[in-house]
């Protein structure tokens, strides 16, 4: 394995804690001028990786991330795809799992690494986790074997672990270990050496060419069930103007109330053409519609099975597929099958 000493990596800075410093006058966190990155992380010069950087004009807290900014990022990657061996995106951790998922659906035919990372403490603070995250993410993006990048997908690197991007979920606002990939093995673990989990890495089709698909249709809603739901609550979501797809956050393995009013309401909107996707509130495990009586009703009215997809991947996948010019049958089919490794194919 070549550690990637001659690799050329584009570092894209979108914002988030990692790129902030404590302002000595106000003691508040503010984004630093990214051209000073070598001052804050002088170790980068020792990496012998050819790094270029680009920054959002106005770095954002990732709470302000949006589909138009996903498209902007996708275009930056597309424009620079042939010039660079890999990409590292510095991003706030709060919505990193959504951006990683969105990019995985947009970047069809990707065969180079796109690694998102960030940190819980700013890179300018003494106990920062940002330096290690940034340096190892760059090393992973640069790593090659037989002249080919080792990682050829969108991934998230955080606190010694590399995960498939569209399988990640932020689990902690406090711990350095902020992410988990509840339903898919880690892609790599960084200790003294970086150990890649070969069987988990994405293998692109031979000679695949990058094709950027930029459409996102936000006519979706997420309805989280809780004991005490009312029909007004359910109808408020289903009755939304222009709603095309509802993500129903069910209990356990995809269970929901079998109350006739609830099912009648879902059926009414299904008949009007609204797609409904069953995604569990449990982050680990899979939806198995029909396993319990309490999910049979959903199955009967044509609620789609989200299997073990994360909410982040479900949201971005729905938006992505709705923007494609496909008929309702292929929409339903693609929603229930992996299109970028975001869900496992379940065999019952």
Where does this chain bind ligand ASP (CB under 6 A)? Answer: 15-17, 61-63, 92-94, 118
Q: Cα separations (Å) of 256 from 6, 75, 163, 267?
A: 54, 40, 31, 14
Residue closer to ligand ASP, measured from CB, 96 or 142 = 96
Q: Tokens at residue 10, please?
A: 């584009």
Distance CA 63, CA 57 (A): 17
Minimum Å gap between C-beta 208 and ligand ASP is 32
Catalytic residue (choose from 17, 95, 168, 316): 17
- Do residues 151 and 113 touch, judged by C-beta distance below 8 A? yes
Minimum Å gap between C-beta 93 and ligand ASP is 3
Q: Cα separations (Å) of 279 from 63, 179, 198, 249, 276?
A: 23, 19, 29, 5, 10
Burial class (CB in 10 A: 0-12, 13-18, 19+), 2: middle
Distance CA 266, CA 234 (A): 9
Residue closer to ligand ASP, measured from CB, 155 or 287 = 155
Minimum Å gap between C-beta 186 and ligand ASP is 20
Distance CA 293, CA 253 (A): 11
The whole-angstrom distance between residue 165's C-alpha and the CA centroid of its chain comes to 5
CA-wise closest residue to 138 among 37, 61, 22, 62: 37
Residue 125 designated active-site:
no
Q: Tokens at residue 103, please?
A: 């990019």
Residue closer to ligand ASP, measured from CB, 60 or 243 = 60
Minimum Å gap between C-beta 141 and ligand ASP is 20
Minimum Å gap between C-beta 58 and ligand ASP is 13
CA-wise closest residue to 166 among 78, 107, 248, 92: 107
Residue closer to ligand ASP, measured from CB, 15 or 341 = 15
Exposure string of 5-44, with b = 16+ CB inside 10 Å and e = fewer, is eebebbbbbbbbbbbbbeeeeeeebebbebeebeebbeeb
Residue closer to ligand ASP, measured from CB, 7 or 99 = 99
Residue closer to ligand ASP, measured from CB, 94 or 308 = 94
Minimum Å gap between C-beta 304 and ligand ASP is 30
Ordered alpha helix ranges (H), 109-259: 130-142, 231-238
Distance CA 13, CA 221 (A): 30
Minimum Å gap between C-beta 78 and ligand ASP is 24
Residue closer to ligand ASP, measured from CB, 60 or 282 = 60
Distance CA 255, CA 288 (A): 9
Residues classed as catalytic: 17
């Amino acid at each position: 394995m070549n550690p990637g000493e001659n690799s050329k990596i584009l570092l894209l800075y979108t914002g988030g804690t990692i790129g902030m410093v404590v302002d000595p006058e106000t003691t508040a966190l503010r984004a630093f001028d990214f051209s000073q990155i070598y001052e804050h992380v002088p170790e980068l010069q020792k990496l012998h990786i050819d790094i270029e950087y680009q920054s959002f004009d106005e770095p954002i807290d990732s709470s302000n991330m949006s589909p138009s900014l996903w498209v902007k990022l996708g275009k930056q990657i597309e424009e620079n795809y042939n010039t660079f061996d890999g990409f590292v995106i510095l991003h706030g951790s709060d919505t990193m799992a959504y951006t990683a998922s969105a990019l995985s659906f947009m970047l069809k035919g990707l065969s180079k690494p796109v690694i998102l990372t960030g940190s819980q403490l700013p890179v300018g603070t003494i106990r920062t986790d940002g330096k290690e995250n940034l340096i190892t993410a760059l090393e992973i993006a640069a790593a090659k074997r037989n002249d080919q990048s080792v990682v050829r997908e969108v991934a998230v690197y955080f606190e010694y672990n590399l995960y498939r991007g569209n399988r990640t979920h932020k689990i902690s606002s406090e711990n350095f270990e902020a992410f988990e990939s509840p339903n898919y093995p880690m892609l790599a673990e960084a200790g003294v050496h970086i150990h890649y989990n070969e069987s988990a890495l994405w293998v692109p089709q031979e000679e695949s060419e990058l094709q950027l698909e930029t459409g996102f249709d936000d006519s979706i809603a997420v309805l989280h069930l809780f004991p005490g739901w009312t029909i007004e609550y359910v109808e408020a979501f289903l009755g939304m103007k222009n709603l095309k797809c509802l993500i129903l956050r069910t209990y356990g393995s995809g269970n929901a109330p079998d109350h006739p009013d609830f099912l009648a309401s879902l059926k009414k909107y299904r008949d009007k053409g609204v797609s409904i996707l069953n995604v569990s509130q449990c982050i680990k495990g899979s939806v198995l519609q029909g396993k319990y009586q309490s999910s049979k009703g959903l199955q009967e009215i044509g609620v789609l099975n989200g299997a073990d997809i994360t909410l982040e991947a479900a949201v971005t996948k729905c938006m992505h597929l709705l923007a494609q010019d496909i008929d309702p049958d292929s929409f339903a089919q693609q929603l229930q099958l992996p299109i970028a490794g975001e869900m496992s194919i379940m065999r019952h």
